[in-house]
Amino acid sequence: MKNQYVQILDIPFLNKTKNDVVNDVFHQYLKEGKKGFIVTANPEIVMQAHKDRDFLYTLSKADFIVPDGIGVVIASKMKREPLKERVPGFELMEDFLALSNLHHLKVYIVGAKNEILESAVKNIRSKYPDLNLAGYHHGYFDDDDDTVIEEIQRVKPDLVLVALGCPRQENWIKQNMPKVEKGVFIGVGGSIDILAGHLKRAPVFWQKIHLEWFYRLLQQPSRWKRMLVIPRFLIRVLTSRA
């Protein structure tokens, strides 16, 4: 459908608001019992796909990619094909959990360190008491270890949150999704750490002035080198505009 996607450096971003992603797309997948692979992509992920063809191939297997990162929205404006809004991965995950709570859905979580995951699970159980948390596993296992995917095959969750960091989480989903019958899989990066209270999201003011990335940098200064990718990404979008 026209305008449904905005192409940025060969990555097709779904041009929908967060509410539409939750209530139209995700809900529809659940109703139809369809499998889904959702990627929330920021400039770092787009640039990663440009230097790693295998990862680009992984992204091509996603059912849809949403713009998580103000850099992607700025890039869409530079191309004069503005995306409707940023769809923050953490908020999308929260909305998916809320919908799962409402419909008593089965959720599985894979990723994060054991003790952090345990705290996140505790918080999920108290905040979303009606969802069925059908299982969880920390994220420090070998890629060829099938224990987790075998459990998911058995449990048949409706929603699978995968927090293995990028690009591992997307590659893991691409690798393992074909082995299951159902479930919407989404890579959630550091969101389990936030749910656990281990990392904090930027206060709303910082989010409003689009400096959430800067707040994150202050919390995890070791990420500064990774942030340099944002200006490089914008220059690339500008020069590839033709």
Residues that bind ligand UDP (CB under 6 A): 111-113, 139-140, 163-166, 168, 189-190, 192-193
Cβ of residue 100: shortest distance to ligand UDP, in angstroms? Answer: 20
Joined together, the tokens standing for residue 50 give 């440009």
For residue 204, which of 76, 42, 88 has the smallest C-alpha distance?
A: 88
Cα 97 from Cα 123, distance rounded (Å):
12
**Nearer Cβ to ligand UDP, position 103 or 113?**
113
- Report in angstroms how near the CB of residue 228 gets to ligand UDP at its nearest: 15
C-alpha triplet 62, 66, 69: angle, nearest 5°: 130
Classify residue 137 by its DSSP letter. E
- Considering the complex, state which of residue 74 and residue 162 has its C-beta at the smaller distance from ligand UDP: 162
Contact 26, 186 (CB under 8 A): no
Which residue, 152 or 166, has its beta carbon nearer to ligand UDP?
A: 166
Shortest gap between Cβ of 58 and ligand UDP (angstroms)?
Answer: 14
* Cα–Cα nearest to 156, from 184, 129, 124: 184
Question: Least CB distance from residue 199 to ligand UDP, whole Å?
Answer: 8
State in angstroms the smallest separation of the CB of 18 from ligand UDP: 19
| DSSP helix/strand/coil, 113 | coil
Nearest residue to ligand UDP, scored by beta-carbon proximity: 139
Name the residue nearer to ligand UDP (CB basis): 57 or 140: 140
The DSSP line for 157-205 is -SEEEEES-TTHHHHHHHHHGGG-SS-EEEE-TTHHHHHTTSS-PPPHH
Least CB distance from residue 55 to ligand UDP, whole Å? 13
Integer Cα distance of 123 and 230 in angstroms: 33
Q: By C-beta, is 135 or 190 nearer to ligand UDP?
A: 190
Comparison of 199 and 234: residue with beta carbon closer to ligand UDP: 199
Q: What are phi and psi of 217, to 5 degrees?
A: -65, -40
